[in-house]
Structure 1
């Protein structure tokens, strides 16, 4: 027996060292992948003259990569750092989806509640009690796509736009067809206000941003320009990029497009979506927000992803994809002068966010490259 115990201990140590070595090798491979991708990204942005970007990559709870790239504006801009604010545009919808799922999970209201319960004006429309809360956030309310988005860019106030929305006849019954919305999506603010006596902005600031310590994140135009560490928008004209004026229009629809955030904030948001802050976003909330409510067949024809997508749905503020047999939660954003992408790979424990202060389709290529590299890396390990 006295010889047996040291032998067992020796085997244990050798096994521990073996797996430790494997883990160390894997970590080095991952770091190499991220480093190579960041260099490729920076070179690509520079070659296209794109002013700046914010990159966030998460692999598990502690393996984070956060990087500001380029400058906040072309002339006399400051360097983009980890705390430089960018407009998220429609990536803001992921926050609305999470918050709504959270409040519903707490019993503040039900996702199955009719919208007319909170906005009585809907009782006198063709919707009556057929339009449910989850229809708002899954783009399945039955309206023609992007209904009255043109008025968001006008001087018309959001309440006046909604009053016009009430007169629009749906093209299908709620839940039967997909039509991407910004005006209708943002009605969730009224639902939250009516059911909790507190508005969407306050809920998001106090019960999401604050506990997650997303210290740069904010809502609205005034908070975007509160100091000079924000990325200015850029548009293309006459074969070069121009710094544009930061417009307030899409800040009218805060749930749909009103969030500002930095690379540092987005790394935290990725971790929250991967389940590392259960006191803020519980497993039940994460499951509810990514339930595939609406089939989005049109997404299967996306040029960049056409060969990869097998299924495409919309949850609550999140797209849900089968991408080469891997589940992805995804959203993109586009508002004048900015593009944004967010990707969650829940089964691989990996999250990715890229925001650019220029209107460029290059982001589609850059995001796809990252996804493909990660899938190849993970499948090599099996």
Structure 2
């Protein structure tokens, strides 16, 4: 039934007459070659209100971006991982206080501190490691298993649980708890518990299904944000830490995911599960310096797989991600029951102006980039 309803909503939303400053800006950016391809979904009051696609998914074939075009969603994957953990916690199979070493034996922290690293600490980036610990090794082709052991030689920046520092390799360790309790691979668990029930028909995990997707978006980058766009080959690095950054999805899939996070499929993701993830666990003060958000960002926290902002006096639940030329953002205003998903296949600074453009418009704040 969910799938049938989503199809009807998407058919309506794709042709809906809703007009946003966001859509005008999206058209400008794709027309001016600042962005190659772009997909947007807006959810409001329990409905997919609008789906818009712009530009090309492939410059060579000139194939356009469509609602079923598949993108890499990068670190938006973390919200899926946290959702599975929270669902299993609600069912009594897991606890956020469970030590990660109960599920993965090769995870190490200096001075034996891995015994204090809980699932909650992993999912909220509070394991005491420096930011992005050994992402450089991951990108160089070192296996995550080797890196997890080598983390034991890294000097901590704080005690476990005491501070925030964003991670990918360490975060991915959470998937072993899912695999243990589901008795299935991470990809199989996602399909069984989320993708299939939510009719996210284009969603997948890993490099092979992405390469095989007939409607996948090709990614593009250019030097220093200028010059000709160049196709960027798909690399396996972050697919090797799938719980942190290995999911692929279309805007049709992500519209359903946003709707679910906003309470639109409570039989799958209950209010209690969503509250677990969307509750602040640690303050993330450095985010207040972000160029695109700092004018209205009063404070910022990380929950479990999700960021929480005080933005212009309103709560924003959100996450962003970038990998190999693909970028993605998801955000919603729970007090206003409206949210947005943005996906692109081009590495573009201008892409990150779109979320504050949407938020400021919704909250009647000064237009993004204005001097007011």
In structure 2, distance between residues paired with 1:273 and 1:245: 32
Cα deviation per residue 1:141-175 (whole Å; 9 max; x = unaligned)? 10000000011112222212212123323221111
1:134 aligns with 2:120: yes
Which of 291, 302, 306 is the equivalent residue of 1:303?
291
Matches within 5 A, 1:65-76: 65-76=50-61
Greater C-alpha Rg = 1
Q: Which residue of 1 aligns with 2:361?
A: 373
Q: Please show how residues 41-60 of structure 1 align to structure 2 within 5 Å.
A: 41-60=26-45
Corresponding residue for 2:65? 80
8 Å CA contact 1:344, 1:351 repeated in 2: yes
After superposition, the Cα gap between the structure-2 partners of 1:63 and 1:231, relative to the gap in structure 1 and judged at 3 Å, is closer
Match of 2:215 among 229, 242, 262: 229
SS at match of 1:42: helix
For the 8 Å contact 1:178–1:295, the answer to whether it is kept is yes
* TM-superposed deviation, 1:204: 0.8
Contact 2:39 2:344 in 1 (8 A): yes
Change (3 A) 1:335 1:79: same
Stretches of structure 1 that go unaligned for 5 or more consecutive residues are 1-29, 378-382
CA contact (8 A) 2:34 2:348 kept: no
SS in 1 for 2:78: helix
RMSD (Å) for aligned C-alpha atoms: 1.8
- The Cα of 1:122 is off from its aligned counterpart by 5.0
> In the alignment, is the contact (CA less than 8 A) between 1:71 and 1:78 conserved in 2?
yes
> 2:239 — aligned with what?
251
* Unmatched tracts of structure 2, length 5 or more: 1-15, 366-372
Q: State the distance in 2 between where 1:128 and 1:315 align.
A: 21
Q: Residues 73-222 of structure 1 correspond to what in structure 2 (within 5 A)?
A: 73-122=58-107, 125-222=111-208
Distance 1:50 1:69, change over 3 A: same
Determine the C-alpha separation between the residues in 1 that align with 2:220 and 2:283.
34
Query: What's the secondary structure of 2:87's corresponding residue?
Result: helix
Residue 350 (structure 2) pairs with residue 362 (structure 1): yes
- Paired with 2:49 and 2:81, the residues of 1 have a C-alpha distance of 24
CA distance in 1, matches of 2:283, 2:345: 31
Change (3 A) 1:227 1:123: closer
Cα shift at 1:49:
4.0
Deviation for aligned residue 1:349: 0.9
Deviations 1:21-66 (A, max 9, x none): xxxxxxxxx95433x5323312222213421011111112234211
* Length-normalised TM-score, structure 2: 0.89
Which residue is equivalent to 1:15?
none
Q: Would you say the 8 A contact 2:288–2:298 is kept in 1? A: yes
Q: Which residue of 2 aligns with 1:37?
A: 22
1:13 aligns with none
The answer to whether the 8 A contact 2:77-2:243 is kept is: yes
